[in-house]
Amino acid sequence: MDYVSELLDMEDDDGLISRLAALPADERLRHIRRIMHKELHRH
């Protein structure tokens, strides 16, 4: 459980949706792509 908790903490995505919403459109898209492609082979 501690491992899973640590795994989730490492994502550092508290308030991610509102943080994304506050970004200009092109920057938001760039940020979303970075999140999507950050780790293509997790698990």
Residues that bind other proteins (CB under 8 A): 1, 3-9, 11, 13-17, 29-30, 32-43
User: In the complex, what is the shortest distance from the CB of residue 21 to other proteins, in angstroms, rounded to a whole number?
Assistant: 13
DSSP conformation letters of 1-43:
-HHHHHHHHHT--TTHHHHHHTS-HHHHHHHHHHHHHS-TT--
User: In the complex, what is the shortest distance from the CB of residue 24 to other proteins, in angstroms, rounded to a whole number?
Assistant: 15
User: In the complex, what is the shortest distance from the CB of residue 22 to other proteins, in angstroms, rounded to a whole number?
Assistant: 16
DSSP state of 23: S
**Cβ-based nearer residue to other proteins, 4 or 24:** 4
What's the rounded Cα separation, in Å, for the pair 37 and 34? 5
